[in-house]
Amino acid sequence: MLLEEQLPRLQRLIKEKLGPLPKDVFRNETVMRTTFRQLYRRLPRVMSLAVGEEGFVEFCMRNHTRLLNVKDAVAEQWQSNGKNPEPLRTTADTEALAESARKRWVPTYAPKTMILDRGQGARVWDIEGNEYLDLGGGIAVSSLGHQDPELLEALHLQAGKLWHTSNLYYTEPAIRLAEELTAHSFADRVFFCNSGAEANEAAIKLARKYSSKNHPPEKREILSFTGSFHGRTLATVTATAEPKYQEGYEPLPGGFRYCPFNDFDTATEMIGPQTCAVLVEPVQGEGGVTTAAPGFLKHLRARCNEHGVLLILDEIQCGLGRTGKLFAHQWEEGVTPDLLTIAKALGCGLPIGALLATEATASAFQTGDHGTTFGGNPITTSVAGVAFRRLRNPELHAHVLRQGEAIHNWLKGLNLELGIFREVRGRGLMLAGVLREELAGKAGELMEAARQAGVLILIAGPDVLRFVPPLTISDEELQTGFDRLGPALRAWCQAETAA
């Protein structure tokens, strides 16, 4: 029998054979190893294991968070520290801090006058103790909520060991994460970096390098789609087929062309001998939460095959369980990319991105062809290792679909009363309410009305309200969100009609 299948039994046996363990057993690696060794020696004879003592101990070490119920232990410790859920008292002044930021930060963002301070599950609090339900998840990042005990534990363990080495040296967390990512995807190889834009930048560079090694110089064009968003570096902002992100940064890098999203015929015309790669989001996020039409990704795959073109899927926002499957392209059968990028939820708040690649494409990069100082850092990859195991769990995906349906239905119900949306769309917990034409440009106002009522939501352009909460959001949290959002949107509509 596989050890993995024995996990629940091993959990029970720890209690039966070893009794209550010291609360912080998981903080000391030597004590943990000794504990698992003792367990091995006391296992019932009938329990057949395919590994010897060393293999058993290593397996237990890799799965210690589950075996030692670390989740409960850490949660208990956190609560007894009084850090959560009690409001933190601070002498900081909201207005003074915000004013300092406004004076000193390069003004690329314009946050509201509110200083967020701490979080728990799907809730966050500001320094004045005001509570907000987080339906934006830090822009589709905090997929396991705030202060998840298992993530905290992974962070603490690694923080007490080693923070950084650079890629001149191997560390185990990055290797383990690469093993997991390749075991549970199409990919043979992984390149770690620190953000979504960097993952896409790496994908674009790898595609070009691959083409330079295998095709004539005319075949270097990258095709992307209207409504897309791929990042803010010069190459990724050029791939982002939206003038508002590009204006003022000219001259932009050459070799990028744009095709209307979900337009089968134009895609057929535009993918040809000159195309090096097609870059596409299976569900466009920033561009308005637009799902690829049924058959569109398959169509792109087929055209790519026809012309020897690489298919790059940007799953930075829609991947990692967000739509109710591990990867969003899995909603369509028969679509396997050559390259795929992830970031956002992979670190659940720590900065990490990854490019996943097939052996054939990855081998176009040789030593020295691309690089990063921080990518694959042991702290981010330790946390991402735990995050990825949780995010690929089918039970979580079922929960995502259930909660997604609840939000979808609630938005539709509210719309029967208020008539503000012309469409409610999206998949899983990546959802949007598209404002009807008369309310065009008002999404920001609605987002602010929601914030003032204690709910953080996002917009995706000026006409779309976007909901990308933690995937773990509970029924109670969701209901709190509805109870606050309903009256807030009703009041906004009344004021709008009166105006």
Ligand X SMILES: Cc1ncc(COP(=O)(O)O)c(C=O)c1O
Q: Binding segment for ligand X among 38-46, 159-167, 226-234, 376-384 (CB under 6 A)?
A: 226-234
Q: Toward ligand X, which CB reaches closer, 195 or 377?
A: 195
Q: CB neighbours of 320 closer than 8 A, spacing ≥ 6?
A: 143, 326, 327, 342, 344, 345, 346, 388, 391, 392
Q: Binding segment for ligand X among 176-184, 228-236, 329-337, 377-385 (CB under 6 A)?
A: 228-236
Q: Quick one: which of 136, 137, 227, 285 contacts ligand X (CB under 6 A)? A: 285
Q: Quick one: which of 150, 153, 201, 314 contacts ligand X (CB under 6 A)? A: 314
Q: Binding segment for ligand X among 280-288, 396-404, 432-440, 471-479 (CB under 6 A)?
A: 280-288
Under rule CB under 6 A, residue 201 binds ligand X: no
Q: Toward ligand X, which CB reaches closer, 197 or 386?
A: 197
CA 358 to the chain's CA centroid? 21
Q: CB neighbours of 246 closer than 8 A, spacing ≥ 6?
A: 237, 238, 240, 252
Strand partners, 382: none
Instruction: Give min distance, CB of 114 to ligand X, in A.
Output: 21
Under rule CB under 6 A, residue 343 binds ligand X: yes
Q: Quick one: which of 26, 225, 229, 296 contacts ligand X (CB under 6 A)? A: 229
Structure tokens at 206: 């790898």
Q: Toward ligand X, which CB reaches closer, 202 or 414?
A: 202
Q: What string marks each residue from 237 to 276 as x (binds ligand X by CB under 6 A) or -?
A: ----------------------------------------
Under rule CB under 6 A, residue 469 binds ligand X: no
Q: Toward ligand X, which CB reaches closer, 347 or 481?
A: 347
CA angle in degrees (0–180, nearest 5) for 241-188-352 = 55
Burial of 189 (0-12, 13-18, 19+ CB in 10 A): middle
Under rule CB under 6 A, residue 385 binds ligand X: no
Find the distance separating the first CA and the last CA of the chain, reported in whole Å.
Answer: 69
Where would I find the H helices in 42-69?
53-62, 64-67
Instruction: Give min distance, CB of 147 to ligand X, in A.
Output: 22
Q: Cβ(346)–Cβ(320) under 8 Å?
A: yes
Under rule CB under 6 A, residue 136 binds ligand X: no
Under rule CB under 6 A, residue 317 binds ligand X: yes
Instruction: Give min distance, CB of 340 to ligand X, in A.
Output: 12
How many residues bind ligand X, per CB under 6 A?
Answer: 15
Under rule CB under 6 A, residue 143 binds ligand X: no
Residue 126: phi, psi to the nearest 5?
-95, 180
Under rule CB under 6 A, residue 200 binds ligand X: yes
Q: Toward ligand X, which CB reaches closer, 285 or 426?
A: 285
Q: Cβ(239)–Cβ(224) under 8 Å?
A: yes
User: In which region does residue 297 sit, left (phi positive, over 0), alpha (psi from -120 to 50) or beta (all else)?
Assistant: alpha
Q: Toward ligand X, which CB reaches closer, 70 or 181?
A: 181
Q: Cβ(195)–Cβ(351) under 8 Å?
A: yes
User: In which region does residue 137 sit, left (phi positive, over 0), alpha (psi from -120 to 50) or beta (all else)?
Assistant: left
**Where do contacts with ligand X occur on this chain (CB under 6 A)?**
139, 195-197, 200, 229-231, 281, 285-286, 314, 316-317, 343
